[in-house]
Chains A and B, each alone.
Chain A
């Protein structure tokens, strides 16, 4: 059993066919964030449920899959939302691309058999998103300019990396390949390549968010305790939460340098997330990136979390990390072959 890619077994048995695809397209036509959908929901008298201890209920399985990119593509410049026609077209294109990709990964690929593992977006509850970019502020849908200080950091790092091959040592590979940490567990919670699934569980004084990829965990205390000392840095930062009305607001600092989103400055990055249940099937999720030493202004991203069926599976990454050994072994073998060739 390949443990790196644990599969959604419930999906294993599903017959992949054009009929199914059509069903998905139809089922997903009503975008959760649209005024029309909101009106329809309002008509069904949805009321916010609460946990036994009185918190607004965010619990359950969610996905943040979206075909909308973080930054706005040039062709939609000046346009925050798709029209109905554009939305339908973009979503159809996204599903088709995801569907085609599934069959590109055949049983012969060293990655995984896409027809068996059912990890692609069209198979995992993706819904249309009316936004043309996930970034909602600034209004142009783009990450704001970086400060000169950040440029210097990037230059220094590139200089340190110079002269090394792509896989001279494990440290040359990404945190994901090394099974250290998967940033999409948050903050910020952004869609990943697969396993973009979250389970939220609430208990008195805590909200817990688990993320399927690498079975990452965030436990967010709500009791107003002070932040951790700056001497303790965490892979997903250290989060403190509070309720503002029906919105869960989570502030996170104390990031580790290696695991900091978008190469921000771990010393100054403060991430503020907002979770608001808007109907039975969705949570509006927003985060604001505050880091004055990295960007010239704060910026805000909005991603809907859409309800999905559970369960989630254990993702034991390092236990079955074939990639890392294959990449390093492959690189050493290539060097040996090249040396032989040169002789």
Chain B
């Protein structure tokens, strides 16, 4: 993991230099994506003339710890985990400092954080009442999947744009045709996509209420509505923006944004992070016939 992080840093640094060079020779023109100060970039095209988003991408931020501003701190169980488990500092990805929680929801967010490591597995939906779903290797939902510290791959066809996350091979189908309302609730939601110029706009609903936005306990309800914008801003970057609506939890819609970096390693590919096997003992170990055997 640490090696991967370092590699990403190197790649990101390289990409930033290359991008800066390409910006220097490219005259500024046209429309910048919402909320981001970047010169216009004419994205590479697919054979059918759309912006080409194919590739392996990864966020390079600490939003999975906390989407808001946060200082570095010891992680859970520092007596065991030491520096391995510590939380890095990070500037928030949320526009504005505070999240517009309704009063009850602000209290619930605090409670979520305090109980983030509670694991109470039952054979009914009560299992989802407490604890960060990430701890239990559940699908991360949206928009969290996009800033997990693992890469994801976009496979872009005309009818479907598929996003596969290395984290527990969470999968999204973005329907570019045949838009419809979510026929069933799910962890990753139901996504209808459309192009606005070179920006892929994805409208997602049909979420289960169980996913969180981060390890800090930021959360939503089943009324979550996420509108994402993926805009190519260089051959190596997508600008990502998500508008979050949830009238049951927030007093108004709010936005987050951050760049996604192309993974540039030669022969980069997604590998397996099938964490289901890593959490089995934590979740079901107490049901062994003989403890620790």
Contact = CB atoms under 8 A, between A and B. Distances in A.
Contacts of A203: 46, 54, 155-157
Contacts of A326: 123
A121 to B, nearest CB: 22
B31 interface: no
Contacts of A201: 155, 157, 160, 162
A302 interface: no
B155 A332 contact: no
Contacts of A138: none
B184 A313 contact: yes
B287 interface: yes
Contacts of A216: 169
A336 B155 CA distance: 52
Nearest to B172: A314
Given A52-B46, A332-B289, A210 B184 contact: no
Interface residues of A, number: 56
A316 B287 contact: no
A199 B169 contact: no
Given A59-B157, A325-B121, A219 B290 contact: no
Given A52-B47, A54-B47, 4 more contacts: A10-B183, A59-B157, A168-B288, A203-B157
Contacts of B289: 165, 168-169, 331-332, 335
A328 interface: yes
Contact of A316 (B125, B173, B187): B187
Nearest to A206: B155
A341 interface: no
Interface in B180-203: 183-188
A322 B123 contact: yes
The 5 closest A-B pairs by CB, nearest first: A52-B47, A328-B287, A314-B186, A322-B123, A168-B289
Contacts of B155: 201, 203, 206, 208, 219
Residue from A7, A225, A325 having most chain B Cβ neighbours under 10 A:
A325
A51 B157 contact: yes
Contacts of A82: none
Interface string A39-69: 0000000000001111000010000000000
A77 B210 CA distance: 54
B219 to A, nearest CB: 16
Contact of B173 (A10, A165, A199, A324): A199
A325 B175 CA distance: 35
Interface string A163-190: 0010011100000001111000000000
Contacts of B269: 219, 221, 228
Nearest to A185: B169
B162 A210 contact: yes
A179 B171 contact: no
A160 to B, nearest CB: 13
Contact of A325 (B48, B270, B284, B293): B284
A234 interface: yes
Contacts of B267: 225-226
Contacts of B185: 1
Contacts of B164: 208, 217, 219
B263 to A, nearest CB: 13
Interface string B33-75: 0000000000000111000001000000000000000000000
